[in-house]
Amino acid sequence: MVPIPGAPGGAGALRALNSPVPAGVRSDKDGKPLAVRLERAWQRVAQVSDRWHLGPDEWWTGETVDRLYFTVRLDDGQRCTLYQDLLTSRWYSQRA
């Protein structure tokens, strides 16, 4: 947790660090991301460096989770983690 700049002190002045945010993602037929929309602009995925699955059998999460994660490098050199929530088909991004 980090303080929200300019917010008055107290517990309400904290926000989660690097929380996932909804993202637009274009993917191929196998689900591999090809482009991601960040801050109103589409960027091409130059490289997928890692892929992993967090499935419903992950008992320690305390909730039903089924996600497919990708670590990607974008055309501009930015790295981010993308995941598709396989229960809702929605995509999310986290800046690395």
Structural domain boundaries in the chain = 20-95
Tell me the pLDDT of the chain averaged across its residues: 85
**Each residue's pLDDT tens digit, 73-87:** 999 999 999 999 999
CA-wise closest residue to 78 among 29, 30, 23: 23
The reported pLDDT for the residue numbered 31 is 92
Tell me whether residue 88 is exposed, middle or buried, using C-beta atoms within 10 angstroms of its C-beta: 0 to 12, 13 to 18, 19 or more. exposed
pTM, rounded to two decimals: 0.76
Q: Which of 18-27, 61-70, 80-89 has the lowest mean pLDDT?
A: 61-70
pLDDT band at 7 (very low <50, low <70, confident <90, very high): low
Give the separation between CA 55 and CA 57, rounded to whole angstroms.
5
* pLDDT of 40 strictly over 70: yes
Give the separation between CA 36 and CA 13, rounded to whole angstroms.
30
